[in-house]
């Protein structure tokens, strides 16, 4: 199957559920690494908490499947708020609930609509956490990803190509958190001691963007 143009409604409910399954598997696989990254600058439980939330969301959506892509994201966000401890639950829950509501009741959405939904979600996260780029948070992966996604779509790239560009930018954003001093969250209490550590929230955000790109690549194959 040829890759669909970015303005075609390529992302349906089945796509979003495949992404969630892929994301839950990846979070499960990387949960120890995420917690290890969190140990020097946080509570050391980021991976454990994210794993609990995503596995619970996958189970809940299998039991009561939503019938729209937006519904999948809203259900995911609801589970993350309920199951994930610390700051990650409210932040990721807000991200996906807001993105899902932005997508509305459409049975399928384009990559551009998904981009707009994610932008709304990221804006809500920034407002909730009071963070800006460079604060050493999940935004340092998500905002570059959105910028790359937008640039690729504006250049006429397919959904798969645009999401691949977003994944690459997210990975670069993660690496860029290492020399930063944390200015938000528990890590900010460490001051200069937070420098030299990769941010776990940015890492998990990039992981989710990468799984989204993987799902789009498989759909386009």
Q: What is the pLDDT of residues 153-197, one digit of tens each?
A: 999 999 999 999 999 999 999 999 999 999 887 787 778 888 999
Per the CB < 8 A criterion, the answer to whether 136 and 182 are in contact is yes
d(CA 6, CA 144) in angstroms, rounded, equals: 19
pTM score, whole prediction: 0.93
- Predicted local confidence at residue 2, as pLDDT: 39
For residues 39-43, give the mean pLDDT.
Answer: 90
Q: Is 112 left (phi over 0), alpha (psi -120 to 50) or beta?
A: alpha
**Would you list the domain boundaries of the chain?**
11-220
Given the candidates 1.20.272.10, 3.20.20.150, 1.10.3210.10, 1.25.40.340, the CATH classification of the domain at 11-220 is 1.25.40.340
For residues 204-209, give the mean pLDDT.
Answer: 98
pLDDT at residue 4 greater than cutoff 50: no
Helix, strand, coil in percent for the chain, rounding step 5:
70, 5, 25
Q: What is the pLDDT of residues 116-154, one digit of tens each?
A: 999 999 999 999 999 999 999 999 999 999 999 999 999
């Amino acid at each position: 199957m040829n890759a669909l143009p970015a303005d075609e409604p390529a992302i349906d409910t089945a796509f979003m559920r495949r992404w969630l399954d892929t994301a839950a598997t990846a979070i499960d696989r990387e949960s120890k690494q995420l917690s290890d990254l969190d140990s020097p600058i946080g509570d050391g439980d980021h991976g454990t908490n994210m794993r609990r939330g995503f596995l619970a969301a996958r189970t809940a959506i299998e039991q009561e499947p939503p019938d729209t892509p937006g519904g999948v994201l809203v259900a995911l966000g609801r589970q993350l708020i309920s199951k994930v401890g610390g700051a990650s639950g409210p932040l990721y829950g807000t991200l996906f609930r807001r993105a899902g509501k932005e997508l509305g009741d459409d049975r399928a959405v384009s990559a551009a609509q998904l981009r707009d939904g994610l932008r709304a979600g990221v804006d809500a996260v920034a407002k909730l956490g009071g963070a800006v780029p460079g604060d050493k948070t999940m935004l340092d992966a998500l905002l570059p990803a959105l910028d790359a996604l937008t640039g690729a779509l504006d250049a006429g790239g397919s959904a798969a190509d645009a999401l691949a560009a977003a994944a690459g930018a997210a990975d670069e954003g993660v690496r860029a958190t290492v020399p930063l001093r944390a200015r938000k969250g528990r890590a900010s209490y460490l001051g200069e001691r937070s420098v030299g550590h990769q941010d776990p929230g940015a890492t998990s955000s990039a992981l989710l963007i990468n799984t989204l790109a993987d799902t789009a690549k498989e759909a386009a194959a």
